[in-house]
Structure 1
Amino acid sequence: MTDNEMQEQWNRMVENMNQAVAESVEQNMDAQARFMEAWAETMDQSMPDEDAMEDSLESYNAAYSVWMDAADRMFERLTDAAEGEDVAVTEFRDIWLQSANEAFKEVMGTTAFAAATGNVVESMMELQREAEDVSQDTLTRMGLPTRDDMDEVGERLIELERRQHAVEKKLDRVLEHLEE
C-alpha cells in the first residue's frame, strides 16, 4: 500500500468518524430538545407550587449536568479513538443510554413530576369515567342491560341464595325435631 493510499484510507476513516460523531451529537441534541419540550409541557400543565418549582429546576440542572458530562466523555473517547486507541462503538451508545437514564431519574424523582403524573392519571381516570357514562347511557337507550343492571341482578341473586340457605337450615332443624 502506498503512502497516498494510506493517507486516503486515513482521511476516509476520519471523515466517517466525524460524520458519526456529528450524527450522534445531532441525535443527542434532538433527544435533549424532546426531553425538555416534554418536561416544559408537563410543567405548564401542572403549575407546581414554589417549592416544587425550585425542586424541578434543580432536577433540570442536574439532568443538564448529566448530559454535559456525557458530551465530555464522548469527546474524550473520540479523542482517544483519533489518537489510535481501540474504542468500541458500543461505548458511545452506552454513554448516551446511561446518561439518558440518569437524566430521567433526576427529573422523575421530583415532586413536580409526581404532581404532573398525578394530574395526568387523574385526567385519564376522568376520561374513563366519562366514557363509561356514555357507554351506560348508550346501552340504556338501546334497551340493553348495563353494568349497573347486571350488578343489581347479581346482588339480588346473592341475596336470594342467602335466604335460600337460611330457609334450608330452618327446614333441616324442623325435620330433625320431627324425626326425634
Structure 2
Amino acid sequence: MSDKNADIGAEYSEMIEEMNEAVAESIEQNMKAQAAFVESWTEAMSDSMVEENELAEGTEGYNQATEVWMDAAERMFERSADAAQGEEIDPTEFRDIWLQSANEAAKEIMGTSAFAAANGQLIQSMLDMRQQADDVGQETIAELGFPTRDDVDEVGERLVELERRQHEVEEKLDRILEAIEE
C-alpha cells in the first residue's frame, strides 16, 4: 500500500510542478507582451507631437491598461492556487483570462485622444511619404519620355470636351436637316 501512496504522491508532485512551470511561463509571456506593448506605446507617444492634455489622457489610459494586466495576473494567481488545492481547472481558462485582459487593455489605450492623435500623425506621415514616392515616380516616367498621369488626365479632359462639342455639332446638324426637310 505504501508503494501505491508513493506513486500517487509522486504523480501529484509532478502535476503540481508542471502547473507551476506553466503558470510561470504564462506570467513570463505576459510580462514580455506587456513590456513590448509599453515600449511600443512609449515610442509612439515620444515620436509624435501629442498635446500635453492628450499625453495626460494617454498616460491615464496606460495606467488603466496596467491595472487590467495586474487584475489578470491576480486572477491567474488565484486560479493557480485553486488548481494547486485540487480544483479541476480547464487550461483554456488561463488563456481566456489573458486574451480578455489584452482586449481590455487595448481598449483602454486605443480609446484615448493621445492614441487617436498619434495614429492621425502616423497616417498623415504615411500619406506624405506616398505622395513623395508618387511624385518621384511621375518625374521618372516623364524623364523617360513616357506620358505621366497628368498627361493622361489632360488627354482625357480634352477627349471629354471634344465629345461634348461633337454632340453639340450633331444636334445642330439634326436641327438643320429637320428644317430643310420641312
Return the TM-score normalized by structure 1: 0.97
Identity value in percent:
59
User: 1:98 matched to which residue of 2?
Assistant: 100
Structure 1 residues 149-176: Cα deviation after superposition (integer angstroms, max 9, x where no partner): 1111111111111111111111111111
> Could you tell me which of 40, 59, 64 is aligned with 1:57?
59
Moved over 3 A (4+): none
| Per-residue CA distance 1:112-143 (angstroms, 9 max, x = gap) | 11110011001100110011011101111111
Distance in 1 between the 2:8 and 2:49 partners?
60
> Match for residue 153 of structure 1?
155
- In structure 1, list runs of 5 or more residues that go unmatched: none
Structure 2: stretches of 5+ with no match in the other structure = none
- Deviating more after overlay: 11-20 vs 27-36: 11-20
2:69 to 67, 70, 81: 67
Equivalent residue of 1:154, what SS?
A: helix
How many positions carry a matched residue from both structures? 180
Give the corresponding residue for 2:37: 35
- Give the C-alpha shift of residue 47 in structure 1: 3.5
Specify the SS of the correspondent of 1:85. Answer: coil
For 2:17 and 2:85, the matched residues in 1 are separated by 15
Counterpart position of 1:128: 130
Residue 19 of structure 2 corresponds to which residue in structure 1?
Answer: 17
Q: Which amino acid aligns with 1:165?
A: H
Q: Per the alignment, in what secondary structure is the counterpart of residue 169 of structure 1?
A: helix
Pairwise CA RMSD of aligned residues? 1.0
Aligned counterpart in structure 2 of residue 77 of structure 1, from 52, 76, 79: 79
| Cα displacement string for residues 22-61 of structure 1 (whole angstroms, at most 9, x for unaligned residues) | 1100000000000000100010011322211211111111
Alignment partner of 1:7 is 2:9: yes
Give a deviation string over 1:86-124, Cα, whole Å, max 9, x none.
Answer: 111111111101100110111111111111001100110
User: TM-score w.r.t. structure 2 length?
Assistant: 0.96
